[in-house]
Structure 1
Amino acid sequence: MGVCAWGVRRLDLFARAGSGALAHRWFDDGWFGWEGLGGGLTSAPAAASWAERRLDVFARGGSGQLVHKWFDGSSWSGWSHLGGVLTSAPAAASWAERRLDVFARGGSDQLVHKWFDGSSWSGWSHLGGVLTSAPAAASWAERRLDVFARGGSGQLVHKWFDGSSWSGWSHLGGVLTSAPAVTSQGPGRLDVFARGGSGQLVHKWYVNGEWSGWEHLGGTLGSPPTACSWSPGRVDVFAVDRVDRLVHRWFQDGDWSPWEHLDAMP
């Protein structure tokens, strides 16, 4: 699944339906049901927003290439094919209006990166690493990108772009049994989630230049989580449980909600 927010109290959630089509539901002071948006997806989708009422959705298509569909505020585009040989679901982030950065695991398990600069798409850039999951990506400032994945021994690994160059890979520990998810509530803040060793949601955060330890948030997850933030102090996390129900937990006003069970997946 993928989720993003283009405004306060707005969530757009995307999933790959059983038929392989893209499915979409949204929260706008209440949940709306699933709508089908077509396509033949072979991975979970990723979503990003660079402006109010703008949505960009990415996935792996039938021949392993990156496919892209967007909402311009009034209607959905068709599917655009952006090439590549992806071996995982993609991740997407935006650090400015009309800017998109897309990441995936490539053919030799390394991180690959493609970006849109407001007028055209780049080629694929290879950023190394040995990934054992799909990546996750977020931005907390203009020209800042943070990318996470599960490394070779199941730990969380992290690579970032500081506006001029890419870091090496940093190892942040943990025992992950899924791809991670990441979101930012604001400048200098990152919240990373994954499924832990017993199927529960685990959480690690970065603030004021320091990483926390791992926090255990319960649940019995049957899928990787996905996460987003619509304002400082608010984080929403979604996953599928072991009986194929969509589950949701959120952080607001300094505390975590209980798990909310929404409905069956499309």
Structure 2
Amino acid sequence: MSTPSTRNTPGVRSFLLVAAIVTSSLAVATPAQAAAPSLELPFVCGTSWDGNSGDSNAHRNKEIDFNATGTKGDADKGKPVVAAAAGTVRWEGGENSDYGNYVEIDHGDGYSTLYAHLDQKSVGTGDTVQQGELIGTVGNTDGNSPGISAHLHFEFRNRGSGQSYPDYIRPASFHGNPFDYATGKETFVSQNCGTQTPPTMPGVSSVSRADGSIDVFAVTSDYRLKHRNFSAGKWSCWSTLPGNAKIKGDPAAVVSNNGNRIDVFAQGIDNRLKKLTWIAGQQWYDWADLGTYAITSSPAVTMRYDTGFDVFARNATNKIVYRHFSIADGWVNDWAGIGDNWSTVTATSAPAAVASADGTRMNVFTRAPDGSLLSVMWTSGAGWYNWADRGGNYVGRPAVTTRGGTSLDLYLRHNDSSLVQWYSPDGADFTTYKPQDFGGYITTSPTATTWGNQRMDVFSRNSNGDLIQKFWTAGNNWTPYIGLGPVGAPAC
């Protein structure tokens, strides 16, 4: 941790003395001491981290540097950092500041927490965050000392104390356990679990162009899209796709033209739908803006025939709407609600969608306010049916794929962040087969793709932010989770 300068350190709130004349003498009214927030470790629930307050010559008071237990060097780079307590982001800095990328969260009554040397920031000034919400990733950014190893520099501050830096840095306690400043070292297992939604990182999407081939797309905290391909039994390095638009959330990809075209749809930071296209032999085009209609979720996309897509998203009134896109003609219709009872259904997640191979059926899924799964079906003969509540308690966006016919395989993130699979033989029967819990701890909504009817692959990210995979092949069981390393590394 580099020594912060007075010029780059955010200003201290003034401490005002209130004077009053009491019985003809001057008295100073001392305000009552405000209660400090109850802090949890700023890392994903259940992970172990070593705190160190004594080994940095840049530390001036009660600062703590954190690394995951048992790691060395830059092994922690990219791991999620979450809010130690609820509050509002009041200050932030970039890579060239004394703290590198940092955010400081105001918890009220003069108290704040600072998170420094971040690799990426997921929040900015003015954002309100809940305890346990993702705010960035561990990094090694520092404007004064390039080349530092990755770690989180953490400070608990009382800006309302009337003191200046570094005196306003206070001793920190996590889950009621005071840090051992006498020895300068202590190991904590995060209890930052609470009742809030588990932290969710920017998501991933996957498609298959042909048997033996998978394309994976991931959104990073700097609003860029990364791409990686699996073919001939090997993974390529990560590449960064065109950046003329900033996107957020989970991308949605679809393959057409016999595997010679990929279209990726995403929500822009301006809440407008964007599309990025790859055509074999022509590489990637720039992002296209698809209109001014405001969407409030990541999109979903599916294909009923080889030159047209159906795109789904949540709108400003929390309803799932769709629009059909033709490669030859562009948009065919305006955004419209789906399901006969669409006006009574409130969606709290992005949608997921899949079409049968013959184009005669579509199924769309989202999450209800109580965490249950909602579904609606369209058939070429009857149009849209009513939305139905399938129960359960899930987090984030569902994922869905098909092995053939009208069968469906749903993948969901349970409210304990485990991965759940739910099979339906026809897209309407959700009672014959019960949800299967695969366990584990995933920090993004899953994404799934199939190779014909012989293989299914599911991807998400683990508590370190790394890409993970499970796959099933016909006649065999599911593999254990496979680690595929940090998103973006190795890079092309």
Give TM-score scaled by structure 2 length: 0.53
- 1:77 is aligned to 285
Query: Which one-letter code corresponds to 2:365 in the other structure?
Result: F
Q: Which runs of 5+ in 1 are unaligned?
A: none
Partners of 2:447 and 2:460 within 8 A in 1:
yes
Find the counterpart in structure 1 of residue 457 from structure 2: 236
Tell me the equivalent position of 1:153: 370
The alignment status of 1:23 with 2:220, answered yes or no, reads no
User: In the alignment, is the contact (CA less than 8 A) between 2:361 and 2:406 conserved in 1?
Assistant: no
How far 1:143 sits from its partner (Å)?
3.4
Aligned equivalent of 1:264 = 486
Q: Give the secondary structure class of the aligned counterpart of 1:47.
A: strand
2:447 counterpart residue number: 226
> Are the aligned partners of 1:174 and 1:214 in contact in 2 as well (CA < 8 Å)?
no
Residue pairs, 1:169-248, within 5 angstroms: 169-208=387-426, 210-211=429-430, 212-248=433-469
Are the counterparts in 2 of residues 134 and 179 from structure 1 also a CA contact under 8 Å? Answer: yes
Post-superposition offset of 1:252? 0.7
* Structure-2 residue corresponding to 1:6: 209
Aligned partner of residue 230 in structure 2, secondary structure: strand
Other structure's SS at 1:180 match: strand
Superposition deviation, residue 15 in structure 1 = 0.9
One of 360, 364, 373 as aligned partner of 1:143: 360
Quick check: 1:42–1:60 contact (8 Å CA) kept in 2? yes
Q: Could you say which residue in structure 2 is the equivalent of 1:132?
A: 348
Q: How far is 1:79 from its partner?
A: 1.2
Residues matched between the structures, number = 266
Distance 2:360 2:278 in 1: 24
Highest CA radius of gyration, 1 or 2?
A: 2
Name the aligned partner's letter for residue 429 of structure 2: E
* Secondary structure at the counterpart of residue 20 of structure 1: coil
CA distance in 2, matches of 1:63, 1:210: 38
CA RMSD, aligned part only?
1.3
Secondary structure of residue in 2 paired with 1:221: coil
Equivalent residue for 1:45? 251
Q: Distance in 2 between matches of 1:222 and 1:62?
A: 21
1:101 has 2:322 as partner: no
Please give the alpha-carbon distance, in whole angstroms, between the structure 2 residues aligned to 1:171 and 1:124: 23
Question: Could you report, residue by residue, the CA deviation over 1:207-250 in whole angstroms, capped at 9, with x for unpaired residues?
Answer: 15632211011211111101111210311100011111110001
Give 1:117 deviation, angstroms.
3.0
- Over the matched positions of the two proteins, sequence identity in percent amounts to 30
Amino acid at match of 1:42: K
1:113 counterpart = 2:322? yes
Aligned to 2:113: none
- Partner SS, residue 168 of structure 1: coil
Is the Cα–Cα contact under 8 Å of residues 319 and 346 in structure 2 kept in the other structure? yes
The aligned amino acid for 1:16 is: V
**Deviation digits for residues 84-140 of structure 1 (CA, Å, limit 9, x no counterpart):** 211111111112110111101110100011111342213211223211101001111
User: How much does 1:18 deviate?
Assistant: 2.5
Residue type at the aligned position of 2:368: G
Q: Take 2:413 and 2:350, find their aligned partners in 1: how far apart are those partners? A: 13
Farther-moved stretch of structure 1 (126-135 vs 201-210): 201-210
Please state how far the C-alpha of 1:72 moved relative to its aligned partner: 1.4
Amino acid at match of 1:238: F
Cα distance in 2 for partners of 1:36, 1:7 equals: 23
What is the distance in 2 between the residues matched to 1:12 and 1:166? 31
